[in-house]
């Protein structure tokens, strides 16, 4: 072939190679041959995110809607030209809408807890599956590969295992906290919805009573809602989002390491390409730092600044001290009767009867109530 033809052909081949390379599914640093992290993991993240955004949107405009739906002055204007029957029906709907809202929100909180717990479990399993993949590679090594390299692969594996243990512990702590917060939101909302349904059964449906009761519910719904969704819920969203970001990063890094191991063992040049195996601690140090940061973030967010200044190094982690400490802390938090104990401080005892004006009390069949 003429030399003047060779050059374009060379560039053409380079071009083809480059674009065929681009068109592959890339996951880690552009040269992933296999997708190591499962679709299931990414789908779980997406799905959870979707439900989380839905839940946030649902709660987002509650206070405005409450104002709109239960404002008696707006209803009075509308009602000026309607019959009493229509008007009362209208108000009846507003009140059932309100309790439906709390019931639905409670269900959504429960759904979100389920999604988040599953997502965290899949995350842990995904991390564990990297250990299995590493072992598979270890067992399928060619006999020609030296025992020295095999030993290095084993040592690296031990470091990965230690990373996995630490990562799983942190995920467990995050999961416990987020689930705890969301479950208490679920419990308060459903209790409040039940109280409304129950009260409504004893309600005397007159025009005046509707007005007084709607004012009452508008005021208390705002109080109870704000109390339930205050700092803890926002912290829980934050904790979840942060752990999700870190988890994505961890998966990319693990994937990268699998690919690198694969490449190094497939090449004949171990000395060059398997360098990273020689010092697993250093090679994984950035990932361990990432976990440390995550743990610190968690301590600051949850323990509200009461941070143990001596950051725990890995030597401690293998003893599992940190996670036991955290679990104990969470257990003591939860021990005050989780379903109806400290969480439901947002709904006062003997609500609503005790908090009603004398006028409003007259609107209920309160003989039934007092005998309760």
Ligand X SMILES: *[C@@H]1O[C@H](CO)[C@@H](O)[C@H](O)[C@H]1NC(C)=O
Instruction: Check residue 214 for interaction with ligand X (CB under 6 A).
Output: no
With CB under 6 A as the contact rule, the residue among 67, 96, 125, 263 that binds ligand X is 125
Per CB under 6 A, 65 contacts ligand X: yes
Handedness of CA 290, 293, 297, 299 (dihedral sign): positive
Comparing CB distances to ligand X, the nearer of 91 and 257 is 91
297 contributes a contact to ligand X by CB under 6 A: no
Residues in the chain: 372
Confirm or reject binding of residue 122 to ligand X (CB under 6 A). yes
CB of 225 to ligand X, least distance (A): 9
Nearer residue to ligand X within complex by CB, 62 or 297: 62
219 binds ligand X (CB under 6 A): no
The two structure tokens encoding residue 49: 């995110």
Query: Cα–Cα distance between 24 and 36 in angstroms, integer?
Result: 14
Compute the least distance from the CB of residue 311 to ligand X, in Å: 29
Nearest distance from residue 95's CB to ligand X, in Å? 9
114, HSE (Cβ side, Cα atoms, 13 Å): 8
Task: Using the minimum distance from each CB to ligand X, give the nearer residue, 116 or 277.
Answer: 116
Determine the interface stretch with ligand X among 48-56, 65-73, 202-210, 359-367 (rule: CB under 6 A). Answer: 65-73
Q: Given candidates 45, 51, 59, 66, which one binds ligand X under the rule CB under 6 A?
A: 66
State which residue, 101 or 192, has the beta carbon closest to ligand X. 101
Asked if 81 interacts with ligand X (CB under 6 A), we say: yes
Q: Which of 46, 47, 97, 365 binds ligand X (CB under 6 A)?
A: 97
Q: How far apart are CA 125 and CA 118, in angstroms?
A: 10
Binding of residue 121 to ligand X (CB under 6 A): yes
Contact 49, 112 (CB under 8 A): no
Q: How far is CA 362 from the centre of its chain?
A: 45
69 binds ligand X (CB under 6 A): yes
**Considering only 64-72, 108-116, 152-160, 173-181, which stretch makes contact with ligand X by CB under 6 A?**
64-72
Q: Which of 28, 75, 98, 254 binds ligand X (CB under 6 A)?
A: 98
**Site residues for ligand X, window 11-50 (CB under 6 A)?**
25
Q: Which residues bind ligand X (CB under 6 A)?
A: 25, 62, 65-66, 69, 81, 83, 97-98, 101, 118, 121-122, 125, 336-337, 341
């Amino acid at each position: 072939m003429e030399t003047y033809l060779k050059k374009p052909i060379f560039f053409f081949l380079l071009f083809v190679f480059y674009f065929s390379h681009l068109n592959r599914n890339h996951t880690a640093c552009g040269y992933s041959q296999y997708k190591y992290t499962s679709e299931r993991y990414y789908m779980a993240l997406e799905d959870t995110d979707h439900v989380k955004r839905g839940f946030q949107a649902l709660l987002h405009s509650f206070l405005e809607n409450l104002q709109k739906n239960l404002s008696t002055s707006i209803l009075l204007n509308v009602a000026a030209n309607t019959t009493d029957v229509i008007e009362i029906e209208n108000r009846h709907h507003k009140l059932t809408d309100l309790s439906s809202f709390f019931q639905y929100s409670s269900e959504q909180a429960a759904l979100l807890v389920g999604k988040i717990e599953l997502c965290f479990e899949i995350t842990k399993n995904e991390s564990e599956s990297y250990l299995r993949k590493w072992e598979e590679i270890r067992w399928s090594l060619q006999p020609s590969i030296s025992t020295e390299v095999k030993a290095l692969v084993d040592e690296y594996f031990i470091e990965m295992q230690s990373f996995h243990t630490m990562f799983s512990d942190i995920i467990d702590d995050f999961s416990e906290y987020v689930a705890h917060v969301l479950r208490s939101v679920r419990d308060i909302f459903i209790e409040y919805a039940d109280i409304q349904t129950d009260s409504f059964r004893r309600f005397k449906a007159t025009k005046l009573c509707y007005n007084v009761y709607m004012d009452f519910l508008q005021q208390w719904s705002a109080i109870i809602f704000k109390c339930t969704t205050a700092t803890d819920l926002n912290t829980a969203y934050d904790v979840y989002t942060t752990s999700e970001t870190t988890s994505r990063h961890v998966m990319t890094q693990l994937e990268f390491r699998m690919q690198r191991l694969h490449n190094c063992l497939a090449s004949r040049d171990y000395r060059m390409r398997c360098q990273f195996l020689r010092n697993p601690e250093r090679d994984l140090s950035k990932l361990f730092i990432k976990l440390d940061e995550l743990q610190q973030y968690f301590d600051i967010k949850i323990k509200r600044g009461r941070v143990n200044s001596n950051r725990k190094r890995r030597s401690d982690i293998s003893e599992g001290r940190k996670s036991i400490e955290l679990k104990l802390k969470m257990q003591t938090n939860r021990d005050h009767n989780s379903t109806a104990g400290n969480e439901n401080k947002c709904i006062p005892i003997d609500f609503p009867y005790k908090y009603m004006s004398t006028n409003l009390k007259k609107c209920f069949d309160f003989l039934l109530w007092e005998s309760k």
